[in-house]
Amino acid sequence: MSTNKKIQFSKKRTWSHDLPISFLMQQGVENPGVLSLAAGLVDQNSLPAGITKQAFDELFTDPRTAKEALQYGTTAGSLALRSLLLKHLSRLEQKSVEEIGITVDNMIVTTGSQQYLSLLGEVLLDPGDICLVAAPTYFVFLGVLQGLGARIVSVETDEFGMRMDSLEATLAMLDSQGQLSRVKMIYLVSDYENPSGVSLALDRRKQVVEIARSWSREQRVFVLEDLAYRELCYDGPVVPSIRSFDTTGETVILTQTFSKSFSPGLRVGFGVAPDEVCAAIRDKKGNDDFGSTNFSQHILATALRENLYYDHVEYLRTVYREKRDCMLQAADLHFSNIPDVHWVHPRGGLYVWMTLPDGIETGFNSPLFQKAIHEDKVMYVPGELCYAVDTGRGEKEQPSIQKNHMRLTFGVQNLAGIQEGMQRLANAVKSFV
């Protein structure tokens, strides 16, 4: 006896269908011989097994500390960890804790920084509210915004990140349309942006805070600074965060994660926000899971306290620097003889952003993607996923979503895999030029 009655899902359920990340993962599963330059995993071999063991052993030698790690934590996260995170930020910002001007109460530990991004969206955005993003930007966050029914408005970028003149122009346009009261935030991956590899220039970091403030006419416009790749810097200057220019701490909300710099399996990220926002996120998180895993937090706190973490990050930089160089060399070797193909040389992060000649599309349904995955056995992330669809405009009025880019990552493959993958990819591309 089947009732077979239709399930009536919530309205927001319809906004989070068919996520590209699921499609990508599915492709990986269905095509086992495929070399993935797409997967956002980190380098398996350099994962901190030894350090985690050291931290675990230290925690579990004393039954008291072991049992604390196995008990419930609090919704905002372990106080010991949050205190260490303050010091961590102080070290990264090269400022004293006092100069940074935040306390542990401004911090919430989350299940990766992804959960922080999602929680912030939940507490700030009603359907139709506006978030400004770079074009291109982190496509998984675009999925979050879409799932909340938010309107996503893209801002032009160049080799120094989001263009401040375009940002001003976009805000002015929204104002003239009577939409300024709906603008809640400007999202920026300021260091080694996923996917473009570009970092926001120093002068723009200061400007964006001023711009957000000056347009906070009807309600506060936040800058959401995603520093997921901050610590994966391989060469060139390390630039202060956008947040460091927010002297009152009212405008910038910052998130970071230990997924890239330590272990994604621990799922520990965190965010820093003004008190009111922090309270809102804590309340929502209280309902959602009343706290991320305490066990992981205790492991990470031990690794941070003993400086094991910092040694590991140093090591990781040498590993990824070599892998980045390997991918850039392979690009030189296999792509430099293909006309009108160019790519960014990132100074950090995990991605190389490659641009193909104008007519060559890279999307899931493109001949290139299909040939690459089925014949050449290589996979990349189509660049078009990283450009937002603005639901405030008609289909034909979309600001040109660029379709001829690929996001390549040197994170997960070893050196041989990177070289082989780049050769396969060049083969695929050559069929279309």
Q: Where are the beta strands (DSSP E) in 261-305?
A: 269-272
Distance CA(256)–CA(121), nearest Å, equals: 16
Q: Where are the beta strands (DSSP E) in 59-150?
A: 107-110, 130-135
Task: Give me the least distance between CB of 329 and a copy of itself, in Å please.
Answer: 26
Structure-token match 């416009």, residue found: 221
User: Which residue's CB is nearer to a copy of itself, number 275 or number 332?
Assistant: 275
What is the footprint of a copy of itself within residues 275-334 (CB under 8 A)?
276-277, 280, 282-284, 286-296, 298-299
What is the sign, positive or negative, of the torsion defined by CA atoms of 73, 74, 77, 81?
negative
Q: Find the part of the chain contacting a copy of itself (CB under 8 A) among 17-25, 187-195, 317-325, 366-374.
A: 17-25
What is the footprint of a copy of itself within residues 85-104 (CB under 8 A)?
none
Q: Which of 181, 370, 398, 431 binds a copy of itself (CB under 8 A)?
A: 181
110 binds a copy of itself (CB under 8 A): yes
- 185: helix, coil or strand? strand
241 binds a copy of itself (CB under 8 A): no
Q: Check if the beta carbon of residue 361 is closer than 8 Å to that of residue 368.
A: yes
Q: Which of 27, 31, 56, 234 binds a copy of itself (CB under 8 A)?
A: 56
What is the footprint of a copy of itself within residues 182-201 (CB under 8 A)?
184
Bridge partners (DSSP) listed for residue 100: none
30 binds a copy of itself (CB under 8 A): no
Q: Which of 31, 216, 414, 419 binds a copy of itself (CB under 8 A)?
A: 216
Q: Which of 103, 248, 318, 336 binds a copy of itself (CB under 8 A)?
A: 248
What is the Cα 34 distance to its own chain's centre? 24
User: Which residue's CB is nearer to a copy of itself, number 198 or number 232?
Assistant: 232
- Sequence length of the chain is 433
Q: Which of 101, 264, 357, 399 binds a copy of itself (CB under 8 A)?
A: 264
User: Which residue's CB is nearer to a copy of itself, number 44 or number 336?
Assistant: 44
25 binds a copy of itself (CB under 8 A): yes
Q: Find the part of the chain contacting a copy of itself (CB under 8 A) among 84-92, 245-253, 321-329, 398-406.
A: 245-253
- Output the CA torsion 79→82→88→93 (10° steps): -130
- Here the tokens at position 70 are 């196995």
C-alpha distances out from residue 163 to 209, 343, 351, Å = 13, 19, 21
- 155: helix, coil or strand? strand
Distance CA(397)–CA(411), nearest Å, equals: 36
Task: Give me the least distance between CB of 293 and a copy of itself, in Å please.
Answer: 4
349 binds a copy of itself (CB under 8 A): no
User: Which residue's CB is nearer to a copy of itself, number 315 or number 374?
Assistant: 315
47 binds a copy of itself (CB under 8 A): yes
Helix axes 275-288, 112-124, angle to 10 degrees: 110
User: Which residue's CB is nearer to a copy of itself, number 42 or number 328?
Assistant: 42
337 binds a copy of itself (CB under 8 A): no
413 binds a copy of itself (CB under 8 A): no
Question: How many alpha carbons lie under 13 Å from residue 345 in its C-beta half-sphere?
Answer: 9
Q: Which of 92, 97, 104, 140 binds a copy of itself (CB under 8 A)?
A: 140
Task: Give me the least distance between CB of 118 and a copy of itself, in Å please.
Answer: 5
> CB neighbours (10 Å) of residue 65?
14
Distance CA(192)–CA(208), nearest Å, equals: 17
26 binds a copy of itself (CB under 8 A): no
What is the Cα 349 distance to its own chain's centre? 10
Distance CA(112)–CA(255), nearest Å, equals: 9
Q: Find the part of the chain contacting a copy of itself (CB under 8 A) among 90-98, 113-121, 347-355, 386-394.
A: 113-121
Please work out the total of residues on this chain that contact a copy of itself, with binding judged by CB under 8 A. Answer: 96
126 binds a copy of itself (CB under 8 A): yes
- 358: helix, coil or strand? coil
